[in-house]
Amino acid sequence: DLHTGSIFIKEDGLKVFDPEFGILGPCGYDIGNVIANLIFAYDNGIAYGKKEFTDWILKSVEEVIDLFIEKYNKYYDEWVSEPMAMVEGFKEYYLDGILRDTAGFTGTELHRRTVGMANVTDVTTIEDEKKRLVAERINILAGKEFILKADSFKCGKDYVDTILKCKALAEEL
């Protein structure tokens, strides 16, 4: 499973550590895991008032989705040669499925790591109980949106808008 803990970035490049299972299952699973892990980091940044960091996280969420779509479209056209995959409309149909899976897996990972046994330290180490509760609410509310409205997440901005909406709701409760 690909997640932010498996990606090492430096100015001159990046390395992915332990990617062997990233080739199994739907690719939306790995993209969803990356997005969920970025949201966990966002939760922590919100709790500690790190605006520059949380803005960067939101930008990263948007870019991960949008760059995936851009690269998918580019490389699909360059590399796909299977006649059935070249049928008009199939490329878009397949991308829609990946994007739907991405949203759904983002939501399930947010829930699994918030209410399940495999909690994430980005949230569990938030010392202020009220701020930790806000982080958990963001994850649960956003996760619900990503799962139940998976078909509506077509670009990075859709994710960012949902995160911000759920943050506002979580702070009201």
Q: What is the CATH number of the domain that holds 131?
A: 3.90.1200.10
What is d(CA 168, CA 164) in angstroms, rounded to the nearest whole number? 6
SS3 108: helix
4 assigned to some structural domain: no
Question: Into how many domains does the chain fold?
Answer: 1
pTM (predicted TM-score): 0.88
Q: How far apart are the C-alpha atoms of 32 and 142, rounded to whole Å? A: 13
HEC states along 37-90? HHHHHHHHHHHCCCHHHHHHHHHHHHHHHHHHHHHHHHHHHHHCCCHHHHCCCH
> What confidence tier does 87 reach under pLDDT thresholds 50, 70, 90?
very high
Q: Yes or no: say if 120 and 138 are a contact pair by the CB < 8 Å rule.
A: no
Q: What value does the mean pLDDT take over residues 48-55?
A: 98
Q: Which helix (H) or strand (E) holds 9?
A: strand 7-10
Q: Is 71 contained in some domain?
A: yes
Q: List, in order, residues 6 or more apart from 113 with CB less than 8 Å away.
A: 36, 40, 119, 120, 123, 139
In a domain, 157, yes or no: yes
Calculate the average pLDDT of the chain. 92
Contact 32, 106 (CB under 8 A): yes
pLDDT of residue 146: 99
pLDDT tens by residue, 4-39: 556 565 677 656 555 555 566 789 998 999 999 999
Higher local confidence (pLDDT), 15 or 120: 120
Output the pLDDT for position 173.
84
Does the residue 129 lie in any domain?
Answer: yes
Instruction: Give the percent of the chain with pLDDT over 90.
Output: 82
Question: What type of residue is 139?
Answer: N
- Domain residues for the domain of 151 are 27-172
